Chain A
Amino acid sequence: MAEIQIQNLNKSYGAFHALKDMSLHIADGEFVVFVGPSGCGKSTALKILAGLEAASTGRIMIGGEDVTDLAPGKRDIAMVFQNYALYPHLTVRQNIGFGLKMRGATKKEIDERVERAAQALEITDFLERRPRALSGGQRQRVALGRAIVREPRLFLMDEPLSNLDAALRVQMRAEITALQRRIGTTTIYVTHDQTEAMTMADRIVIMRKGVVQQIGSPDELFNHPANIFVAGFIGSPAMNFIRGTVIDERGSLAVDAGGFRLPISVDLAAAASAYVGKEIICGIRPESLELAAAGQPALEVVPSLIESLGNEAYVHFRMPGRQFAVAVAGEHEHEASSSGTLIARLFDGDRPQAGQTVRLGLKANSSVHLFDPATEKAIS
């Protein structure tokens, strides 16, 4: 167990800058998630932390010790891989005990520790099997066992759940979190799935194109995204972005988005005053929209699609010329532009019909996020 210092870490492959000046301090026992679309540098950062790749520049300290040039095996860390990387020629017992054996532990000690780890993960029954005779979930547990048995200073997990089916993923997500809380080992977890990041992390490091976008707790990232990328990446369905103009209505600021008037909250007013008469990007979470009551300011839209999930419904609609497409969510940046529609997430209540005009209004007390169209940074 140890605190981790990442200082100005850079990695270039030729002209390609995979990781730009990453700095981060991780407290002892913290569960930190690196999240972002593929190619954002999260896996590169993890590999450098593990010692599997060399940093171009920068320094890594584990527990106060500079490990930047240390071999992976000497860093006292453990890693769980996306494809588990279990040794196919060894039994589960040998797989879990391999690291201890390499470190010269006695046979008795290895047996005891493997036994304990196996019990903790409920895989005692498969100890004599080979990995190929195990199911995906069981392999996942063996991979975890191999990590915890050595009681390293740091766990590194590289998308460990992405090869599992959806139901198992939710279950293992909870188990890994519980396990980490119990043994208290500092953990860095890499994923492209924002749900995993939100549910598991103490702190999230959200990255894009090799650059750290924001570091903060899940709530911080959700409520105060630093820029359009973070706002669009965190939360599902993704935040809607609409172009509007800031107007000054006798002292109180608002955004005019083609006749749809969105009030600007008091705490943003000071910052937003610089944008009066200028274009701005508004971010509205789908769940901030509701069916507008008569007389309330509303946006009249014709839904292109209504998806009902039983207790809620997603209303897809378009605002031609007003939409601001940000391609963010999902593993691949390009595949995520969500066909350019905006979404309102309606709970219980009425179900509008596709093709009928629907009046959408902003829920009371819900916040509208404001972003500068040029820098894409949050205005606050």
Chain B
Amino acid sequence: MSELSQSRTAVAAPRRSSGLFGIDLASPKHANKLGYLLLAPAALLILAILVYPMLLAIDISFHDVKFATLSFGASEYTLANYQKLFSSPDFWNAIRVTGQLLLVVTTISMAVGMGTALLVNQQFRGRSFARMLIALPWAIPEVVAVVTWVWILDASFGVLNWILIKIGLVGGPVSWFSSPGTAFSAVTMVMVWKGYPFISIMILAGLQSIPEEYYQAAKVDGANVFQRFFWVTIPCIAPVLGVTLILTVLWVFRDFSIIYVLTGGGPVGATETLAIMTYEEAFNFFRMGYASSIGVVTLIICAVISAFLVKKTSHAIY
């Protein structure tokens, strides 16, 4: 070891570089400056492409503009858009449709997601392959999924009608997109199909994080399979369920592509959610101010719902 010390002068001390503007950002004194520097590009970008547009949208919603303007306060401030909105039957219809869809889609996809997660959480050969297959619809782009379902639901040659007739559930072919009830069912089907894989993946991750000892302890205490599910599984995955529920609700609330490509909101507004209505008002009728006011209301409802769910579910953990 003594020979180690002979060569110690051989390695030069690192350069005494002075970094940016003569400030050595490596010095402990300046560490936080580097933190700001690293955050700056993202902060500026977000300011430009998220904050500014958002404020603009809120501003537009208080103006009577037909086309999006870029200057704040271009014309007189007015509450006309909101007054019109709250007295419009279309708006209340959209609220009702969105609410119904939220309830139905969330409930069914949570059930399917939970069921599939429990299924592939079992131990069996080929489990990882099964897990991959079960959540595969996640990897199908929404537009692709919708187009595929339109073909499956086709009134004349759709395979679903053939199956339903074959097993005697319906007398003749169903024209899915021409009546409000069936159109709503079609939207529900596609949304559940696109929505359950996410829930399944999340719940499965939650299930896997439960220590096996909990189940062994419950067995020792004499709990049967249902008791173990309700007293071990559910409480353990409650936080995961909470997060999943919030994200699913937000998705259903704001999703555009599925409904727009599938039904366009029709027939007669049966599937027109707030998101569809916003888009239609903005880009079909070019009532940008009015559309923005719907967007603002959507944003507020989203915020309220998530705040409520966060409160509820974080409560459920304890």
State the A residues within 8 Å of B (CB): 48, 51-55, 69-74, 76, 100, 102-105, 109, 113, 116-117, 120, 148, 150-151, 179, 182-184
Given contacts A52-B28, A74-B16, A182-B2, 19 further A-B contacts (CB under 8 A): A48-B28, A51-B28, A53-B28, A54-B27, A54-B29, A54-B31, A69-B27, A69-B28, A74-B14, A105-B11, A109-B7, A109-B11, A113-B4, A113-B7, A116-B4, A120-B1, A151-B5, A151-B11, A183-B1
> Which residues of B are found within 8 Å of A116, using beta-carbon distances?
3-4
Cross-chain contact A72 with B11 (CB below 8 angstroms): no
Bound together, the chains give a CA A371 to CA B31 distance in angstroms of: 45
> Which residues of B are found within 8 Å of A109, using beta-carbon distances?
7, 10-11
Among A71, A102, A116, the one with the most B-chain Cβ atoms within 10 Å of its Cβ is A71
Among B3, B13, B16, the one with the most A-chain Cβ atoms within 10 Å of its Cβ is B13
Chain A min CB distance to B284 (Å): 53
B203-242 vs A, Cβ < 8 Å mask (1 yes, 0 no): 0000000000000000000000000000000000000000
> Which residues of A are found within 8 Å of B29, using beta-carbon distances?
54, 69
Question: Is B79 located at the chain interface by the 8 A CB criterion?
Answer: no
Chain A min CB distance to B20 (Å): 13
Chain A min CB distance to B189 (Å): 47
> Which residues of B are found within 8 Å of A179, using beta-carbon distances?
1
Bound together, the chains give a CA A151 to CA B14 distance in angstroms of: 14
Bound together, the chains give a CA A278 to CA B185 distance in angstroms of: 89
Cross-chain contact B13 with A76 (CB below 8 angstroms): yes
5 CB-based A-B contacts, threshold 8 Å: A71-B26, A74-B26, A102-B14, A105-B10, A120-B4
Among B4, B5, B7, B11, the one with the most A-chain Cβ atoms within 10 Å of its Cβ is B11
Q: When A and B form their complex, what is the total count of cross-chain residue pairs whose Cβ atoms lie within 8 Å?
A: 62
Bound together, the chains give a CA A120 to CA B4 distance in angstroms of: 10
Question: Is B8 located at the chain interface by the 8 A CB criterion?
Answer: yes
Cross-chain contact B26 with A103 (CB below 8 angstroms): no
Question: Is B24 located at the chain interface by the 8 A CB criterion?
Answer: yes
Bound together, the chains give a CA A165 to CA B162 distance in angstroms of: 69
> Which residues of A are found within 8 Å of B3, using beta-carbon distances?
116
> Which residues of B are found within 8 Å of A51, using beta-carbon distances?
27-28
Closest to A74 in B: B14
A102-B14, A103-B11 known; A71 vs B28 contact (CB < 8 Å): yes
Q: Of residues 1 to 47 in B, which have CB atoms within 8 Å of A's CB atoms?
A: 1-5, 7-8, 10-14, 16, 24, 26-29, 31
Bound together, the chains give a CA A70 to CA B29 distance in angstroms of: 9
Contact check: which of B10, B13, B16, B26 meets A72 at CB < 8 Å? Answer: B26
Chain B min CB distance to A146 (Å): 14
Bound together, the chains give a CA A182 to CA B3 distance in angstroms of: 11
A53-B28, A54-B28, A73-B26 known; A151 vs B4 contact (CB < 8 Å): yes
> Which residues of B are found within 8 Å of A48, using beta-carbon distances?
28
Bound together, the chains give a CA A105 to CA B8 distance in angstroms of: 12
Bound together, the chains give a CA A210 to CA B7 distance in angstroms of: 39
> Which residues of A are found within 8 Å of B16, using beta-carbon distances?
74
Cross-chain contact A71 with B8 (CB below 8 angstroms): no
Contact check: which of A70, A103, A120, A151 meets B27 at CB < 8 Å? Answer: A70
Bound together, the chains give a CA A105 to CA B14 distance in angstroms of: 10
A120-B1, A182-B1 known; A103 vs B12 contact (CB < 8 Å): yes
Closest to A117 in B: B4
Among A102, A103, A150, the one with the most B-chain Cβ atoms within 10 Å of its Cβ is A103
Among A100, A150, A151, the one with the most B-chain Cβ atoms within 10 Å of its Cβ is A151
B29-68 vs A, Cβ < 8 Å mask (1 yes, 0 no): 1010000000000000000000000000000000000000
Bound together, the chains give a CA A54 to CA B1 distance in angstroms of: 34
> Which residues of A are found within 8 Å of B5, using beta-carbon distances?
151, 183-184
> Which residues of B are found within 8 Å of A182, using beta-carbon distances?
1-2
Closest to A148 in B: B4
> Which residues of B are found within 8 Å of A117, using beta-carbon distances?
4
Bound together, the chains give a CA A103 to CA B13 distance in angstroms of: 6
Cross-chain contact B11 with A100 (CB below 8 angstroms): yes
Closest to A116 in B: B4
Chain A min CB distance to B1 (Å): 5
